[in-house]
Protein backbone atom coordinates (compact mmCIF):
# COMPACT_ATOMS: atom_id res chain seq x y z
CA UNK A 1 0.00 0.00 0.00
CA UNK A 2 1.63 3.21 -1.20
CA UNK A 3 1.31 6.65 0.34
CA UNK A 4 -0.16 9.46 -1.77
CA UNK A 5 0.52 13.03 -0.57
CA UNK A 6 -1.33 16.21 -1.53
CA UNK A 7 -1.06 19.79 -0.31
CA UNK A 8 -4.28 21.81 -0.47
CA UNK A 9 -4.93 25.46 0.35
CA UNK A 10 -7.51 26.56 2.91
CA UNK A 11 -9.41 29.39 1.24
CA UNK A 12 -11.36 30.17 4.43
CA UNK A 13 -11.20 28.93 8.02
CA UNK A 14 -13.77 26.20 7.34
CA UNK A 15 -12.74 25.38 3.76
CA UNK A 16 -12.08 21.77 2.75
CA UNK A 17 -12.78 22.21 -0.96
CA UNK A 18 -9.17 21.32 -1.79
CA UNK A 19 -9.66 17.91 -0.21
CA UNK A 20 -12.95 17.44 -2.09
CA UNK A 21 -11.25 18.37 -5.34
CA UNK A 22 -8.43 15.84 -4.88
CA UNK A 23 -10.98 13.11 -4.20
CA UNK A 24 -13.04 14.15 -7.25
CA UNK A 25 -9.91 14.07 -9.42
CA UNK A 26 -9.19 10.50 -8.32
CA UNK A 27 -5.92 11.21 -6.52
CA UNK A 28 -7.31 9.04 -3.69
CA UNK A 29 -10.67 8.12 -2.19
CA UNK A 30 -12.12 9.54 1.01
CA UNK A 31 -11.70 6.18 2.71
CA UNK A 32 -7.98 6.05 1.83
CA UNK A 33 -7.15 9.21 3.81
CA UNK A 34 -5.14 8.24 6.89
CA UNK A 35 -3.76 11.54 8.25
CA UNK A 36 -3.82 15.32 7.81
CA UNK A 37 -1.25 17.88 8.99
CA UNK A 38 -2.22 21.51 8.51
CA UNK A 39 -1.80 25.19 9.30
CA UNK A 40 -4.76 27.39 10.26
CA UNK A 41 -4.96 31.14 10.50
CA UNK A 42 -5.80 31.69 14.18
CA UNK A 43 -3.63 33.00 16.98
CA UNK A 44 -1.91 29.68 17.66
CA UNK A 45 -2.79 29.86 21.35
CA UNK A 46 -4.84 27.70 23.70
CA UNK A 47 -8.06 29.41 22.54
CA UNK A 48 -7.35 29.12 18.80
CA UNK A 49 -10.68 27.77 17.56
CA UNK A 50 -9.61 27.82 13.90
CA UNK A 51 -7.99 24.45 14.50
CA UNK A 52 -11.32 22.97 15.58
CA UNK A 53 -13.17 24.55 12.63
CA UNK A 54 -10.68 23.18 10.10
CA UNK A 55 -10.76 19.78 11.75
CA UNK A 56 -14.55 19.65 11.55
CA UNK A 57 -14.57 20.74 7.89
CA UNK A 58 -12.13 18.03 6.80
CA UNK A 59 -13.90 15.31 8.75
CA UNK A 60 -17.26 16.34 7.26
CA UNK A 61 -15.87 15.81 3.76
CA UNK A 62 -14.56 12.35 4.65
CA UNK A 63 -17.94 11.43 6.12
CA UNK A 64 -19.85 12.78 3.11
CA UNK A 65 -17.69 11.21 0.43
CA UNK A 66 -16.60 7.99 2.13
CA UNK A 67 -18.09 4.91 3.74
CA UNK A 68 -16.50 5.20 7.17
CA UNK A 69 -18.81 6.07 10.05
CA UNK A 70 -18.42 9.03 12.39
CA UNK A 71 -16.47 7.05 15.01
CA UNK A 72 -14.03 5.76 12.39
CA UNK A 73 -13.49 9.20 10.86
CA UNK A 74 -12.96 10.65 14.34
CA UNK A 75 -9.97 8.34 14.82
CA UNK A 76 -8.07 9.69 11.80
CA UNK A 77 -5.08 11.70 13.09
CA UNK A 78 -5.42 15.37 12.14
CA UNK A 79 -2.78 17.70 13.53
CA UNK A 80 -3.62 21.38 13.13
CA UNK A 81 -1.09 24.08 13.98
CA UNK A 82 -2.55 27.54 14.46
CA UNK A 83 -0.94 30.76 13.35
CA UNK A 84 -0.02 31.84 9.81
CA UNK A 85 2.15 34.78 10.74
CA UNK A 86 4.02 36.66 8.04
CA UNK A 87 3.68 35.09 4.59
CA UNK A 88 2.56 31.59 5.66
CA UNK A 89 -0.52 30.40 3.73
CA UNK A 90 -3.19 28.33 5.53
CA UNK A 91 -3.03 24.84 4.07
CA UNK A 92 -3.19 21.12 4.78
CA UNK A 93 -1.05 18.19 3.71
CA UNK A 94 -3.23 15.12 3.21
CA UNK A 95 -1.84 11.58 3.39
CA UNK A 96 -3.68 8.61 1.86
CA UNK A 97 -2.95 4.90 1.45
CA UNK A 98 -3.53 3.61 -2.08
CA UNK A 99 -3.06 0.19 -3.74
CA UNK A 100 -0.13 1.43 -5.86
CA UNK A 101 2.95 -0.76 -5.79
CA UNK A 102 6.60 -0.07 -6.45
CA UNK A 103 9.99 -1.65 -6.98
CA UNK A 104 11.04 -3.77 -3.96
CA UNK A 105 14.43 -2.05 -3.89
CA UNK A 106 13.00 1.49 -4.03
CA UNK A 107 12.72 3.09 -0.60
CA UNK A 108 9.58 5.22 -0.43
CA UNK A 109 7.39 7.02 2.08
CA UNK A 110 5.51 5.01 4.68
CA UNK A 111 3.41 6.11 7.65
CA UNK A 112 2.57 4.64 11.03
CA UNK A 113 0.09 6.00 13.55
CA UNK A 114 -0.82 5.21 17.13
CA UNK A 115 -2.10 6.63 20.39
CA UNK A 116 0.07 6.39 23.50
CA UNK A 117 -0.98 5.24 26.93
CA UNK A 118 -3.02 7.75 28.92
CA UNK A 119 -1.01 10.82 29.94
CA UNK A 120 -1.97 12.09 33.37
CA UNK A 121 -1.68 15.78 34.28
CA UNK A 122 1.14 14.98 36.67
CA UNK A 123 3.07 13.17 33.89
CA UNK A 124 3.58 16.33 31.85
CA UNK A 125 7.17 17.53 32.22
CA UNK A 126 8.29 14.36 33.97
CA UNK A 127 10.01 11.04 33.07
CA UNK A 128 6.68 9.17 33.01
CA UNK A 129 5.63 11.16 29.95
CA UNK A 130 8.98 10.57 28.24
CA UNK A 131 8.58 6.82 28.75
CA UNK A 132 4.95 6.67 27.58
CA UNK A 133 5.71 8.69 24.44
CA UNK A 134 8.78 6.54 23.69
CA UNK A 135 6.67 3.39 23.82
CA UNK A 136 4.10 5.02 21.54
CA UNK A 137 6.77 5.96 19.00
CA UNK A 138 8.03 2.38 18.92
CA UNK A 139 4.45 1.20 18.30
CA UNK A 140 4.10 3.70 15.43
CA UNK A 141 7.35 2.35 13.92
CA UNK A 142 5.88 -1.14 13.97
CA UNK A 143 2.70 0.17 12.34
CA UNK A 144 4.81 1.77 9.60
CA UNK A 145 6.81 -1.42 9.05
CA UNK A 146 10.07 0.35 9.94
CA UNK A 147 12.75 -1.55 11.87
CA UNK A 148 15.69 0.87 11.66
CA UNK A 149 15.29 4.20 13.54
CA UNK A 150 17.54 5.79 10.89
CA UNK A 151 14.68 5.33 8.42
CA UNK A 152 12.42 7.58 10.53
CA UNK A 153 12.48 11.20 9.36
CA UNK A 154 9.44 12.86 10.93
CA UNK A 155 7.40 12.27 14.07
CA UNK A 156 4.43 14.62 14.42
CA UNK A 157 2.61 14.49 17.74
CA UNK A 158 -0.28 16.10 19.54
CA UNK A 159 -0.31 15.78 23.33
CA UNK A 160 -2.39 17.18 26.19
CA UNK A 161 -1.55 20.36 28.03
CA UNK A 162 -2.71 21.47 31.45
CA UNK A 163 -6.00 23.16 32.23
CA UNK A 164 -7.39 24.37 35.53
CA UNK A 165 -9.65 21.31 35.60
CA UNK A 166 -6.83 18.83 34.96
CA UNK A 167 -4.70 20.48 37.66
CA UNK A 168 -7.57 20.10 40.11
CA UNK A 169 -7.98 16.48 39.07
CA UNK A 170 -4.33 15.78 39.89
CA UNK A 171 -4.58 17.54 43.24
CA UNK A 172 -7.73 15.59 44.11
CA UNK A 173 -5.63 12.43 43.79
CA UNK A 174 -2.83 13.83 45.93
CA UNK A 175 -0.60 14.61 42.95
CA UNK A 176 1.08 17.83 41.87
CA UNK A 177 1.82 19.10 38.37
CA UNK A 178 5.27 20.11 37.13
CA UNK A 179 4.45 23.59 35.78
CA UNK A 180 1.89 26.35 35.49
CA UNK A 181 -1.04 26.06 33.07
CA UNK A 182 0.29 28.74 30.72
CA UNK A 183 3.72 27.09 30.57
CA UNK A 184 2.33 23.63 29.90
CA UNK A 185 2.17 23.90 26.09
CA UNK A 186 5.93 24.29 25.79
CA UNK A 187 6.61 21.77 28.56
CA UNK A 188 4.30 19.18 26.98
CA UNK A 189 5.96 19.67 23.59
CA UNK A 190 9.47 19.48 25.03
CA UNK A 191 8.83 16.38 27.12
CA UNK A 192 7.25 14.66 24.12
CA UNK A 193 10.29 15.48 21.96
CA UNK A 194 12.54 13.80 24.52
CA UNK A 195 10.34 10.71 24.35
CA UNK A 196 10.76 10.65 20.57
CA UNK A 197 14.53 11.08 20.91
CA UNK A 198 14.73 8.22 23.42
CA UNK A 199 12.66 5.89 21.23
CA UNK A 200 14.85 6.55 18.18
CA UNK A 201 18.14 6.27 20.06
CA UNK A 202 19.06 9.93 19.59
CA UNK A 203 19.61 10.34 23.35
CA UNK A 204 19.65 8.25 26.49
CA UNK A 205 16.75 8.45 28.93
CA UNK A 206 17.06 11.93 30.48
CA UNK A 207 17.11 12.59 34.20
CA UNK A 208 14.11 14.39 35.68
CA UNK A 209 16.13 17.56 36.22
CA UNK A 210 17.16 17.67 32.53
CA UNK A 211 13.61 17.78 31.17
CA UNK A 212 12.93 21.24 29.68
CA UNK A 213 16.21 22.43 31.19
CA UNK A 214 19.12 20.82 29.32
CA UNK A 215 18.53 22.16 25.82
CA UNK A 216 21.55 20.31 24.44
CA UNK A 217 19.25 17.26 24.44
CA UNK A 218 16.99 17.21 21.39
CA UNK A 219 15.41 15.21 18.60
CA UNK A 220 16.15 16.10 14.99
CA UNK A 221 12.88 14.62 13.68
CA UNK A 222 10.32 15.70 16.29
CA UNK A 223 7.53 18.17 15.63
CA UNK A 224 5.39 18.38 18.74
CA UNK A 225 2.11 20.18 19.32
CA UNK A 226 -0.30 20.16 22.25
CA UNK A 227 -3.89 21.03 23.00
CA UNK A 228 -6.81 20.57 25.33
CA UNK A 229 -8.74 18.09 23.18
CA UNK A 230 -6.99 14.82 24.09
CA UNK A 231 -5.42 12.93 27.00
CA UNK A 232 -2.97 10.73 25.06
CA UNK A 233 -0.12 11.35 22.66
CA UNK A 234 -1.41 11.18 19.09
CA UNK A 235 1.58 10.03 17.03
CA UNK A 236 2.06 10.20 13.27
CA UNK A 237 5.41 8.73 12.23
CA UNK A 238 6.83 9.07 8.71
CA UNK A 239 9.85 7.38 7.20
CA UNK A 240 11.09 5.45 4.19
CA UNK A 241 10.70 1.74 3.59
CA UNK A 242 11.99 -0.43 0.71
CA UNK A 243 9.15 -1.65 -1.48
CA UNK A 244 6.60 0.71 0.06
CA UNK A 245 5.44 1.81 -3.38
CA UNK A 246 4.45 5.30 -4.45
CA UNK A 247 6.44 8.26 -5.72
CA UNK A 248 7.34 10.01 -2.48
CA UNK A 249 10.39 10.07 -0.23
CA UNK A 250 11.01 11.93 3.00
CA UNK A 251 14.20 13.34 4.51
CA UNK A 252 15.27 15.62 7.32
CA UNK A 253 17.99 17.94 8.57
CA UNK A 254 18.16 20.73 11.15
CA UNK A 255 18.17 24.48 10.87
CA UNK A 256 20.95 25.69 13.15
CA UNK A 257 19.25 29.07 13.52
CA UNK A 258 16.35 31.05 12.06
CA UNK A 259 18.37 32.06 8.96
CA UNK A 260 19.72 28.63 8.10
CA UNK A 261 18.31 28.22 4.59
CA UNK A 262 20.98 25.59 3.92
CA UNK A 263 19.31 23.36 6.50
CA UNK A 264 16.14 23.40 4.40
CA UNK A 265 18.03 22.38 1.26
CA UNK A 266 19.88 19.70 3.23
CA UNK A 267 16.50 18.17 4.18
CA UNK A 268 15.44 18.21 0.53
CA UNK A 269 18.68 16.50 -0.47
CA UNK A 270 18.12 13.95 2.30
CA UNK A 271 14.73 13.18 0.75
CA UNK A 272 16.39 12.32 -2.55
CA UNK A 273 16.59 15.39 -4.80
CA UNK A 274 19.94 16.27 -6.34
CA UNK A 275 20.62 19.99 -5.93
CA UNK A 276 23.47 22.28 -6.94
CA UNK A 277 25.87 23.53 -4.28
CA UNK A 278 24.02 26.85 -3.93
CA UNK A 279 20.41 25.98 -4.80
CA UNK A 280 17.45 28.27 -5.37
CA UNK A 281 13.71 27.58 -5.46
CA UNK A 282 13.87 27.22 -9.26
CA UNK A 283 16.18 24.22 -8.87
CA UNK A 284 13.43 22.20 -7.15
CA UNK A 285 11.32 21.97 -10.33
CA UNK A 286 8.11 21.60 -8.33
CA UNK A 287 9.24 18.33 -6.75
CA UNK A 288 8.92 19.46 -3.12
CA UNK A 289 5.45 18.65 -1.78
CA UNK A 290 5.99 20.44 1.51
CA UNK A 291 8.47 21.28 4.24
CA UNK A 292 7.67 20.93 7.92
CA UNK A 293 9.71 22.72 10.58
CA UNK A 294 9.81 23.77 14.20
CA UNK A 295 11.33 26.96 15.51
CA UNK A 296 11.49 29.34 18.45
CA UNK A 297 13.35 32.42 19.58
CA UNK A 298 16.88 31.75 20.77
CA UNK A 299 16.76 32.16 24.54
CA UNK A 300 20.20 33.76 24.46
CA UNK A 301 18.67 36.74 22.62
CA UNK A 302 21.14 36.70 19.75
CA UNK A 303 21.23 35.64 16.12
CA UNK A 304 24.61 35.22 14.45
CA UNK A 305 26.15 37.57 16.99
CA UNK A 306 23.48 40.25 16.63
CA UNK A 307 21.11 41.31 19.40
CA UNK A 308 17.48 40.23 19.03
CA UNK A 309 14.48 41.93 20.69
CA UNK A 310 11.68 39.43 20.14
CA UNK A 311 11.93 38.06 23.70
CA UNK A 312 11.58 41.61 25.07
CA UNK A 313 8.61 42.62 22.90
CA UNK A 314 5.54 43.18 25.11
CA UNK A 315 3.23 43.80 22.13
CA UNK A 316 3.92 40.78 19.91
CA UNK A 317 4.72 37.39 21.42
CA UNK A 318 8.10 35.96 20.43
CA UNK A 319 6.37 32.91 18.95
CA UNK A 320 4.81 35.11 16.30
CA UNK A 321 8.11 36.83 15.55
CA UNK A 322 9.99 33.56 15.07
CA UNK A 323 7.21 31.84 13.11
CA UNK A 324 6.98 34.74 10.68
CA UNK A 325 10.75 34.93 10.24
CA UNK A 326 11.31 31.22 9.64
CA UNK A 327 8.19 31.06 7.46
CA UNK A 328 9.70 33.74 5.24
CA UNK A 329 13.01 31.91 4.95
CA UNK A 330 11.25 28.62 4.15
CA UNK A 331 8.90 30.20 1.61
CA UNK A 332 11.87 31.79 -0.17
CA UNK A 333 13.77 28.49 -0.15
CA UNK A 334 11.04 26.45 -1.85
CA UNK A 335 9.20 29.24 -3.68
CA UNK A 336 5.90 28.53 -1.94
CA UNK A 337 4.41 30.28 1.13
CA UNK A 338 2.31 27.21 2.02
CA UNK A 339 4.87 25.83 4.47
CA UNK A 340 4.31 24.16 7.82
CA UNK A 341 6.08 26.18 10.51
CA UNK A 342 5.30 25.55 14.17
CA UNK A 343 6.73 27.08 17.34
CA UNK A 344 7.39 25.92 20.91
CA UNK A 345 10.40 23.90 19.76
CA UNK A 346 11.96 22.99 23.09
CA UNK A 347 14.10 19.84 22.68
CA UNK A 348 13.17 19.87 18.97
CA UNK A 349 16.39 20.67 17.18
CA UNK A 350 19.23 22.80 18.53
CA UNK A 351 18.52 25.89 20.61
CA UNK A 352 17.46 28.76 18.35
CA UNK A 353 16.97 26.37 15.41
CA UNK A 354 14.82 23.33 14.81
CA UNK A 355 14.14 20.23 12.72
CA UNK A 356 13.20 20.62 9.07
CA UNK A 357 11.54 17.79 7.16
CA UNK A 358 10.98 17.61 3.41
CA UNK A 359 8.69 15.38 1.36
CA UNK A 360 9.52 15.18 -2.32
CA UNK A 361 7.85 13.66 -5.38
CA UNK A 362 10.43 11.57 -7.22
CA UNK A 363 8.02 10.93 -10.09
CA UNK A 364 8.44 7.17 -10.02
Considering the candidates 7, 138, 158, 323, report the single residue annotated as catalytic.
158
Phi, psi of 101 (to 5 degrees): -120, 170
Name the region of 310 (left: φ>0; alpha: ψ -120 to 50; beta: rest): alpha
158 is catalytic: yes
With helix as H, strand as E and coil as C, how does 169-206 read? HHHHCCCCCCCCHHHHHHHHHHHHHHHHHHHCCCCCCC
List C-alpha distances in Å: 332 to 107, 111, 279, 337.
29, 28, 11, 8
Q: Which of 141, 145, 82 is nearest to 323 (CA)?
A: 82
Active site residue 166: no
Please say whether the beta carbons of 336 and 88 come within 8 A.
no
| DSSP classification of residue 306 | E
Separation CA 232–CA 195 (nearest Å): 13
Q: Which of 220, 223, 225, 342 is catalytic?
A: 225
Residues annotated as catalytic are 158, 225
Amino acid sequence: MAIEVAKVELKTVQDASGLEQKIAQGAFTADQVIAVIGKTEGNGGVNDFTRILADQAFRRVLLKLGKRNEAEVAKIPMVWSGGCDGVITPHATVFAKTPATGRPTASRLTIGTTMSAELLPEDIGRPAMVEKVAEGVKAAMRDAGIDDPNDVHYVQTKTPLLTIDSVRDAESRGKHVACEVHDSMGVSNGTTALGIAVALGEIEMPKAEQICKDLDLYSSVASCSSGVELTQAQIVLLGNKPGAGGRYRIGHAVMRDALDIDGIYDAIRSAGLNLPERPRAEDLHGRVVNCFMKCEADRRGTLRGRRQIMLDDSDVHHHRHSKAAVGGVAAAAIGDPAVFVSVDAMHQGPQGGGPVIAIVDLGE
